[in-house]
Amino acid sequence: MRANSKISPSSLPITIGDYIFKKYLCKGGSSEIYIIESNKFKQLYVGKVITVNQRNMEQQWKSFNSEITALSHLNNPNIIRMYDHFRMSNQFFVILEYCPLGSLSDKIEVNIGLSLTQFVEVASQIISALSFCHAKNIAHRDIKASNILFDLYGRAKLSDFGLSLHAPNKMLQNSFCGSLVYTAPEVIMRKPNNPFYTDIWSLGVLFCVMLTGKSPWTAKDQDTMLQQIMRAEYVVPDSAPPELVALIAKMLVPNPDDRIKISELMKNELLFPQNTKENKIKEKEKIIIHNAKSLYSKHLSIKPSKVNSHHISLASSSFLTHSGTNLSYSFRSKSSMDNIQMTFVEE
């Protein structure tokens, strides 16, 4: 049974149900973050506590509900995991995975940023996490360095879904949220916005921060910064890798419809070389299979739907050595022939 005690930094340690609230970590927005331990599992977690007050009760309840709704749909190695949630008196509790290696903010060296190796490793994991979210029709809406955490094994984890939105109909939104440095132009201009496109903008700003160790906006005052954001007048050093500069340029586009899509980011050769290689192999295999059908019909005068395994065996040699077919050794493999054979139905 959960105790009726109210959690605060001065009340520690305190036990609520199965959890011992041991250490106060920080304050984040309207919530307080604690390190807690499960009596049952003897394992450390993070306890996120939102204390509700009458003045902004509706907003706090919305934030709590958004987070638990999003995290209950998201099971991904690069997204923070939720283990429990409950309400006690005027406080909401979310029990989350503990990430002892801190946040991306801790790892980025001021005015220097990450090495290229570190950038690629972290960026690819964040994109994978965001792609998973978007596939589940969930927009994060608060992507920034402090919301990327690292678990015990050094894996990047997208966290803090308090501003997230489940938008299966992809309708434009009239709500405006996020951190100014990471906020998209259409949000600043109070235009109806597609939250999935604003996520891409925020990710582009984050990539600038990861590259340089500082904000891409050089303005000293807020009004000038707003103008820079709306015009996408960002700064990256000349020494930055040209592939990343080109990628960021596709993300930080003022017109949201012209921004690169998350599916295209997943195909980036620098960040996802394996995905790119596999896609190329699949495309080549499609061509091979298409050519195989034509060659089988030509050499055997049999309709593709009537070709059986015996016909394929007879024609394989002719196909692979055909003078008009240029095949590398890798595509003369059993797997390729298996793919060809599976496209025909034996009748």
β-strand pairing of 91-97 with 156-158: unpaired
Residue in 18, 106, 142, 338 annotated catalytic: 142
Kindly state the tokens that stand for 150.
Answer: 């690292």
Whether 142 is catalytic: yes
The answer to whether 292 and 319 have CB atoms below 8 angstroms apart is yes
Which residues are catalytic, by number? Answer: 142
